[in-house]
Amino acid sequence: MILRMTLILVFLLFFLAACESGNKNITPINDMPEKQTEVTEKETDSVTYLLNKINEKAKLGLVEKCEFSALDSTMDQVKSQWGEPDKVDRAGSGYYAVYENRDITFGYNENGQIFDVRSYSPYLQKITFDWIEKSFGDPVKKTELEGENIYTYQVNDDIQLKFIISKQTKAVDHISVYNQKKTKIEKESYYLEIKGKSNQLSPTAWGRMLEWREQIVDFSKGYDHVFVNGPNKKMIALTFDDGPDSAVTTKVIDILDEYDVTGNFFFVGKNVTKYPEVVKQAFEKGHLVLSHSYNHIDLAQIGEEELRSEIEKTESSIEEIIGKRPAMIRPPYGETDDQVAGIAKERGYSVVLWSIDTLDWSQKEAGNIFKNVIEHVRNGDIILMHTTPETSETQKALPMIIEELQKRNFDIVGLDTLLNMEAYQ
């Protein structure tokens, strides 16, 4: 009997000990929030430190693990230490050299000066916009693309710090340390006034046009991808807006082919869908097929969503015919603002305006069209004409213009040659 009671007691003690041991592995509910808070605080400290470090580096034009700066470095310096890049891409008026093993890409201009340093380091992927906003506040600019959002902060007078965040992962894909001033300096050395007259405009209309011309030239100086003219070289570009149509555009193409010169056609998207064979003819003859919006409306007077639609529908209609997406756009009427310029750049476009307006839409006589070009032509001019049924005098003036320009030893070239950039994306 005593032995049996002893065994029962031992069993009970063993059972209680086992239960107590098992309970040690269970975290009390009341303790969980405290432990979770500790992890969040550590994470906050880590990301805040990382963002502060990124910001301090950016002020110097730098990113982590890269000694070359967007302030004063050149691609020659990079190549002397890192060797040749894995690949080089063209974008707008610049180039981008990719060093894949280092997770670094450099943007640089024609003179080899670096204006953009990008880091694709995996450690950036722990950062979300919530963390960025907590550290830096609201961005000076937010840009939404198809697969990503770009948040831009101005860290000093020269440098913008951009966080490119994937819409899929919600985290930073890469950062860009961008020197605005360096790209502007390259363009400010040669700007032309916009020339061309018509006696058919009222004094009020003429005054408004002169005011717009001055404003748009000043506006273009603030962007590295907005052009009124090309460089100070013995080259000009003939550009034609508002086509295609079934009559004037084809005759202009024939004239350009006869003289073996390149034309630049800024086509309206809705006309592209009506006359695809004319678009194909222009492209196959070696002329540039570029964007002039879809509905030929003032892009500076519409909202962001409609603006994107105008650009995207036009590029889709062109790509469907020639298999390429244009990389140049001319806003109708030349009306351009910060939103138009910004979204154009996001979509991979340069904005190309003009430095000579033939006013073939106003004083339509071939003689006046010819006079507006020949009396004003300068190195790097971009000449504006139209190919619509209403501007049939343009085709009469065109042979005279080409012959006189060639007599004066101007090379008549495509905008890709004049501006030294790709015409297609």
Assign 395 to helix, strand or coil. helix
Question: Can you tell me the distance from the alpha carbon of 36 to that of 379, in angstroms, rounded to the nearest whole number?
Answer: 68
Question: Can you tell me the distance from the alpha carbon of 25 to that of 35, in angstroms, rounded to the nearest whole number?
Answer: 15
Picking from 335, 363, 384, the residue whose alpha carbon sits closest to that of residue 195 is 384
State the catalytic residue, choosing from 241, 242, 357, 360.
241
**Residue 424 DSSP code:** B
Residues 56 and 87 sit within 8 Å (Cβ to Cβ): no
- Cα within 13 Å of Cα(222), Cβ side: 9
How many helices (DSSP H) and strands (DSSP E) are in the chain? Answer: 14, 17
Picking from 176, 186, 67, 69, the residue whose alpha carbon sits closest to that of residue 121 is 176
Question: Can you tell me the distance from the alpha carbon of 344 to that of 144, in angstroms, rounded to the nearest whole number?
Answer: 12
- Exposure letters 34-45 (e unless 16+ CB within 10 A, then b): eeeeeeeeeeee
State the catalytic residue, choosing from 103, 376, 386, 416.
386
Q: How far is CA 119 from CA 34, 176, 369, in A?
A: 36, 7, 51
386 is catalytic: yes
Paired residues of 90 in beta bridges = 95
- Cα within 13 Å of Cα(111), Cβ side: 9
The DSSP bridge pattern shows strands 141-144 and 114-119 to be unpaired
241 is catalytic: yes
Residues 382 and 183 sit within 8 Å (Cβ to Cβ): no
- Exposure letters 336-368 (e unless 16+ CB within 10 A, then b): beeebbbbbbbbbbbbbbbbbbbbbbbbbebeb
Q: Which residues contact 111 (CB under 8 A, 6 or more apart)?
A: 186
Sheet with 114-119, side-by-side order of all strands: 87-91, 94-99, 104-108, 114-119, 172-179, 159-166, 148-154, 141-144
Which residues does the annotation mark as catalytic? Answer: 241, 386
